[in-house]
Amino acid sequence: MAESFNAADYLVGRRLAAGDGDREAVRAPSRSLTYAELDAEIGRVAAGLAALGVQPEQRVVLCMVDEVELFTGILATMRLGAIAVPVSTMLRGPELAVLVADSRSRLLLCSETFADTSRAAVLGARERGGDVSEVVVTGDDASGFGTDVTARTWAEMLAGGEALGAAPVYDTWDESQALWLYTSGTTGKPKAAMHRHVDIRTVCETYGQQVLGIRPDDLCLSVAKLFFAYGIGNSMFFPLSVGAAAVLEPSRPTPALLAELASRHRVTMFFGTPSSYGPLLAAAESGQVDPAAFATVRRGASAGEALPARMVHGMRDVYGIEVLDGIGSTEALHIYLSNKPGEVVPGTSGVPVPGYDVEIRGTDGRPVPDGETGTLYVRGDSICTGYWCRTATNRLVFEGEWLRTGDTYVRNADGTYTCLGRTDDVLKVGGIWVTPAEVEERLVAHPSVAEVVVVAVPDADGLDVPVACVVPREGHTVDPESLVAWCREGLASFKRPRHVIAIEEVPRTATGKVQRFRLREVAAQVVAAGSPTLEAAL
């Protein structure tokens, strides 16, 4: 039997009831809010959304920078019983259009910074038959969305809700949908992982409290933004669940900026990724960052992809920070395998988080013994209910209570788990899924490209970077710089190939299947040698 439960009330209303109204909840460049002020602002935003006609269980897409508006927009949407769908701000207009149309949302909230991207997305979504008909933009300019779309500023939305007063908390159930997060995951194409209100409480009470050990006096800083499952847990779910606070930063997280934020705010919890810890170590070595800037950090965390052992040691030796490396997924909402404080084993993902079970299964579907590799499966109460409108994929990924992660793992003799890479060909770059087919589709549209295969090649730290192996058209040559620029114009920047290599032909099996493993092997050799072609290796 479902019980009444609303995640927004659990995160904020519960804190007021506990007497934490005067405690600081969030710091952003524009302003800081106490829990009482945050609750009031959520009520204003919820009233504005209600005045626009937002109903329980309707989707609200948010393409916004990490600021107070996004923070309150997510919580206000859940407070109304509607479904918050925060999406990546790294997407281009056509990419965002796919998600807006797929979610069947009629309302898009966007930051002024991404107004042009949102304009293109709205046009593209409507061409796809999407339902979007309302747009709200932060800033002063809400023009250019077309005559058949009602657009207004954030201030106008708030003014429209003033007559309603603060919107009350909707009587959602623990099983009610609260949050959809788009992921390419194990099958490549974007799809929405559907999460319930209770999933949010689950990750707070498992990883947040039993592994991370977050406390009311903590101040959190996350490299990952709020539209990531990792980021929203770090900057919203975990701190609010115990009365702590978070620092929001809309800008790109460079080592210098992270050091400045950590020092100025006296951050105690730092959430990074391998693609951020590497530059931090390099910045300290070059003298660009003073490790003392992180002196107040009592705990670090990492997720997105396996953290190389050298970075674990480096962060401890250079910065004095013990980093808890772990693995999670959008489907699980946060981390389910993690190292624990005082028990870090560098190069591993640690052990199962309390509340989660994991199995490593072989090709026959049966668990394998320690030391043997297989595909990682996980089960726990925060696993999403499935992907929105993806029946075939759901049947492949979700097996009863179990989620097939698509990661290849081995269980070590000491009980820790080590990640050996992906089971399939989907790439993970900087902790973000990248679909080879998507990059290949963009590259093959270039007039100089006949065929292309995108594979992952490990860099010096063992982190995957995308490499494009290109067969040029007759009469053309491969120009790496122009092809990378071509990708930047049509794809999110992180999807661009880091290397472009010319090949004469794509290696295939007798049945015509691309031999990606051959390209991965030789591309790694060629990239390491600095050669521009693969002919000799093939």
Range in 225-229, 247-251, 341-345, 425-429 the model is least confident about: 425-429
Confidence of residue 513 (pLDDT cuts 50, 70, 90): low
* Residue 441, pLDDT above cutoff 90: no
Q: Which tokens in the block code for residue 316?
A: 């401890």
Confidence of residue 2 (pLDDT cuts 50, 70, 90): confident
- Across 91-97, average pLDDT: 94
User: What pLDDT, on a 0 to 100 scale, did the predictor assign at position 506?
Assistant: 87
* Residue 106, pLDDT above cutoff 80: yes
Same domain assignment for residues 473 and 353: no
- Across 22-50, average pLDDT: 98
Boundary residue ending a domain (396, 422, 448): 422
pLDDT tens digits for range 193-220 = 999 999 999 999 999 999 999 999 999 9
Question: Mind giving me the DSSP string for 355-420?
Answer: TEEEEEE-TTSSBPPTT-EEEEEEEETTS-S-BTT-HHHHHHHEETTEEEEEEEEEE-TTS-EEEE
pLDDT tens digits for range 494-503 = 899 999 999 9
Mean pLDDT of the chain: 92
92: number of Cβ within 10 Å:
18
Whichever domain contains 145, its CATH number is: 3.40.50.980
Say if CB 87 and CB 99 are below 8 A apart. Answer: yes
Q: Which residue has the tokens 């390491």?
A: 528
Q: Which residue has the tokens 């916004």?
A: 64
Confidence of residue 188 (pLDDT cuts 50, 70, 90): low
Q: What is the distance between the alpha carbons of residues 433 and 435, in angstroms, rounded to a whole number?
A: 7
User: What pLDDT, on a 0 to 100 scale, did the predictor assign at position 535?
Assistant: 43
Residue 430 is assigned to a structural domain of this protein: no
Whichever domain contains 211, its CATH number is: 3.40.50.12780
Distances (CA, A) of 328 to 332, 424, 457: 7, 17, 22
Same domain assignment for residues 91 and 158: yes
Same domain assignment for residues 363 and 506: no
Residue 186 is assigned to a structural domain of this protein: no
User: What pLDDT, on a 0 to 100 scale, did the predictor assign at position 534?
Assistant: 44
Q: Which long-range contacts (CB under 8 A, 24 or more apart) does 336-340 make?
A: 336/207, 336/378, 336/380, 336/382, 337/378, 337/417, 338/207, 338/211, 338/301, 339/416, 340/211
286: number of Cβ within 10 Å:
9
User: What pLDDT, on a 0 to 100 scale, did the predictor assign at position 459?
Assistant: 80
Q: What is the distance between the alpha carbons of residues 224 and 438, in angstroms, rounded to a whole number?
A: 23
- Across 344-373, average pLDDT: 96
Helix (H, G, I), strand (E, B) or coil at 135: strand
Residue 537 is assigned to a structural domain of this protein: no
Q: Which tokens in the block code for residue 179?
A: 């949050």
pLDDT tens digits for range 283-303 = 999 999 999 999 999 999 999
Residue 400 is assigned to a structural domain of this protein: yes
User: What pLDDT, on a 0 to 100 scale, did the predictor assign at position 424?
Assistant: 67
Q: Which residue has the tokens 């959304």?
A: 49
Range in 12-21, 51-60, 217-226, 448-457 the model is least confident about: 448-457
Residue 482 is assigned to a structural domain of this protein: yes
User: What pLDDT, on a 0 to 100 scale, did the predictor assign at position 445?
Assistant: 87
Residue 538 is assigned to a structural domain of this protein: no
* Residue 514, pLDDT above cutoff 90: no
Q: Which residue has the tokens 């949050």?
A: 179
Q: Which residue has the higher pLDDT, 403 or 510?
A: 403
* Residue 429, pLDDT above cutoff 60: yes
Confidence of residue 538 (pLDDT cuts 50, 70, 90): very low
Range in 36-50, 238-252, 459-473 the model is least confident about: 459-473
Same domain assignment for residues 312 and 393: yes
Boundary residue ending a domain (422, 448, 463): 422
User: What pLDDT, on a 0 to 100 scale, did the predictor assign at position 532?
Assistant: 53
H or E, element range at 290: none
Same domain assignment for residues 166 and 313: no
Same domain assignment for residues 447 and 418: no
Say if CB 258 and CB 319 are below 8 A apart. Answer: no
pLDDT-above-90 percentage for the chain:
78
Eight-class DSSP state of 233: I
Same domain assignment for residues 166 and 214: no
Same domain assignment for residues 498 and 394: no
Backbone angles phi, psi at 395, to 5 degrees: -70, -25
User: What pLDDT, on a 0 to 100 scale, did the predictor assign at position 512?
Assistant: 57
* Residue 306, pLDDT above cutoff 90: no
Count of the separate structural domains present in the chain: 3
- Across 296-325, average pLDDT: 94
Boundary residue ending a domain (377, 400, 422): 422
Q: What is the distance between the alpha carbons of residues 500 and 448, in angstroms, rounded to a whole number?
A: 13
Residue 23 is assigned to a structural domain of this protein: yes
Nearest Cα residue to 385 out of 187, 192, 203, 208: 192
Q: Which residue has the higher pLDDT, 96 or 432?
A: 96
Distances (CA, A) of 260 to 67, 134, 280: 18, 38, 12
Same domain assignment for residues 396 and 317: yes
Specify the length of the chain in residues.
538
Q: Which tokens in the block code for residue 209?
A: 């409290």
Q: Are strands 299-302 and 335-338 parallel, antiparallel or unpaired?
A: unpaired
pLDDT tens digits for range 384-412 = 999 999 999 999 999 999 999 988 899 99
User: What pLDDT, on a 0 to 100 scale, did the predictor assign at position 474?
Assistant: 84
Same domain assignment for residues 156 and 243: no
Residue 380 is assigned to a structural domain of this protein: yes
Confidence of residue 531 (pLDDT cuts 50, 70, 90): low
Q: Which residue range(s) make up the domain with 465? A: 435-529
User: What pLDDT, on a 0 to 100 scale, did the predictor assign at position 516?
Assistant: 83
Same domain assignment for residues 54 and 168: yes
Whichever domain contains 459, its CATH number is: 3.30.300.30
User: What pLDDT, on a 0 to 100 scale, did the predictor assign at position 486?
Assistant: 94
* Residue 57, pLDDT above cutoff 50: yes
Same domain assignment for residues 409 and 490: no
